Structure 1
């Protein structure tokens, strides 16, 4: 074959074929996402769970109502998902059994709604506009979502009535995160008598905190369309309709759980300034969000996921931040100190002090 050059160095046939495979694998990465979404829409993880965690193709087809002519195609889908780690495959004397892995067990337990948020046709379509957004002057003034769809994500959500799907995803993620915070890192709430959860939706996280730590009076602040239908006060949790850009209720602690990624620096700094005004001199802000690069020593998903989220958030004008970027907006908002106290998966707890 002809020599293949890379930076003026000839690639061996073996290197060329390996590189070609990697390139095609990257190009087809979206197929993995689509297959995962299909498995969830078909309720395949639940079907295997109902069969005790192990099922044949025929079992899965019977449980999910898959048409008989598509069982062989189902096998192709399951084979790919097994190689990707969503399921595992065992061959028992010629009969293949598909079993739940940690990933699919997590789907069954709670996180299916969050995967629907991330694998969204409208979000994927927006990312196809990256080239136009980077180069066209008129497009560059809009969000990627606006370039692709002619309206904001919030307007599209209202039009399609899909806000409940987004909220369900946030609730699913929040439930797991809050349990970990309380069970393993509850010391971050020591000495706290009151707390405001900005962007806390219907108050699931705040309710969990109030239940575990009943001495803390919790308030949830969110926009009218988000808190619609939520009880305004339940036990030790009060839901307040409002906009963090305008006002943050006073409290010992303000909790910003995976919300500052929604905004670029100017708006994120404005929200942080409001938080600074809301807390006393001995109070603090607790940020739970990604710190890009904090897991540089890690390989694979832990290192890559914050970077994927960073590009994903471009569609709505948001971003993920490395520590220097966090430091910049924290100090510009008037705070004097912070510490990254805990790293949890691809996200971290940042405690910020006035």
Structure 2
């Protein structure tokens, strides 16, 4: 039976399900935040085996009136892939328990790969609240939702708020630790190089990983002076305070990890031109960033890339780019050629040559 809008009843209810799912999607993020704030991944990890609800609420000292609510959150997080529901046997009795998954293992504090700082920063009220301004933002020339909500651009806000800047650097550092996995599969990228400049390299986590993998490679981290002023280098790692829009230290290669997606096309061209001046005719620029490719990517991966594109657009008037958009930037900056390689679940590696 068709309704007055031409769709059958089944289609209408499918639409309602999709609509409600996204209307309440903020609960997904807040459930993750709750899980990390209570340290549940750490509790399960330290328990050394799957944990029952009774054991979990006892560890957390949850009031009896809230035990059901903890259960509802755990069941929902398990449904979304953050816990695995398993059966453990105590004598002859089987009990349901929760085990970590590959996703929640990344939230266990103190491990080499831990994205908890990144999650906490992204879900901080200061990071989330500006997105209530999207309706107004779309009509404002040049302004970002950060400009509208906080009264200044994102980078100025970090400079003016040391505590928030510290959280940002910790978040970026935790994300950069994932490079450990990447280097195992693409160490060929740095072979034959004597020096590399990590532009916008934050506190240098990525460069430290590269230095450990290639002890004979000299790494230079270029960052804003207030970011690197108290950081200590090593035999093959140096920190330089500067501005990538003005100049970049000379080296065999320049690394831009998740940097260019923070800037609009005009700014990216300026940065890339400075990169070209910093390397020799036999050098290269190494970009690690998102490349949107709906034809090749799985639906979920494209969804993540499109989501990140919205975040960058709203927050920084920047964007994630397709191969054609990357090609346009590269050629306008004066480079001759490029190659794109798959890197991680959602990041690609782009090598560009002068």
The 2-side partners of 1:159 and 1:230 are apart by 19
CA RMSD of aligned residues (A): 1.8
Distance 1:88 1:19, change over 3 A: same
1:3-152 pair list within 5 angstroms: 3-5=3-5, 10-91=6-87, 95-108=95-108, 109=111, 110-135=114-139, 139-152=140-153
Q: CA deviation at 1:28?
A: 1.3
SS at the partner of 1:338?
A: strand
Equivalence for 2:273: 273
1:201-220 pair list within 5 angstroms: 201-220=202-221
The 1-side partners of 2:142 and 2:138 are apart by 10
Q: CA deviation at 1:107?
A: 1.7
SS at the partner of 2:138?
A: helix
Q: CA deviation digits over 1:110-137, x for unaligned, max 9?
A: 11111123323223222221111112xx
SS at the partner of 2:178?
A: helix
Q: CA deviation at 1:78?
A: 0.7
* Stretches of structure 2 lacking an aligned partner (at least 5 in a row): none
1:155-170 pair list within 5 angstroms: 155-157=156-158, 158-159=160-161, 161-170=163-172
* Length-normalised TM-score, structure 2: 0.92
1:273-312 pair list within 5 angstroms: 273-293=273-293, 296-312=295-311
Q: Tell me, yes or no, if the aligned pair for 1:263 and 1:319 is still in contact at 8 Å.
A: yes
Distance 1:268 1:66, change over 3 A: farther
The worse-fitting range, judged by mean Cα deviation, of 299-308 and 26-35 is: 299-308
1:206-285 pair list within 5 angstroms: 206-231=207-232, 233-285=233-285
Q: CA deviation digits over 1:16-68, x for unaligned, max 9?
A: 21221111111111110111111111111111111114111232223334444
The worse-fitting range, judged by mean Cα deviation, of 126-135 and 90-99 is: 90-99
Count of residues in Structure 1 that have an aligned counterpart in Structure 2: 344
The 1-side partners of 2:134 and 2:49 are apart by 41
Q: CA deviation digits over 1:253-298, x for unaligned, max 9?
A: 00000011110101111011100000000000000000012x5333
Q: CA deviation at 1:2?
A: 7.5
Q: CA deviation digits over 1:146-191, x for unaligned, max 9?
A: 11222333344333622121111111111112x1332111111121
The 2-side partners of 1:24 and 1:296 are apart by 28
Q: Tell me, yes or no, if the aligned pair for 1:200 and 1:222 is still in contact at 8 Å.
A: yes
Q: Tell me, yes or no, if the aligned pair for 1:82 and 1:89 is still in contact at 8 Å.
A: yes
SS at the partner of 1:162?
A: helix
The 2-side partners of 1:34 and 1:58 are apart by 23
The worse-fitting range, judged by mean Cα deviation, of 55-64 and 70-79 is: 55-64
Q: CA deviation at 1:198?
A: 0.7
The 1-side partners of 2:156 and 2:44 are apart by 38
Q: Tell me, yes or no, if the aligned pair for 2:194 and 2:218 is still in contact at 8 Å.
A: yes
Q: CA deviation at 1:337?
A: 0.4
Distance 1:153 1:67, change over 3 A: farther
The 1-side partners of 2:348 and 2:148 are apart by 32
* Length-normalised TM-score, structure 1: 0.92
* Stretches of structure 1 lacking an aligned partner (at least 5 in a row): none
SS at the partner of 1:32?
A: helix
The worse-fitting range, judged by mean Cα deviation, of 326-335 and 202-211 is: 202-211
The 2-side partners of 1:53 and 1:317 are apart by 46
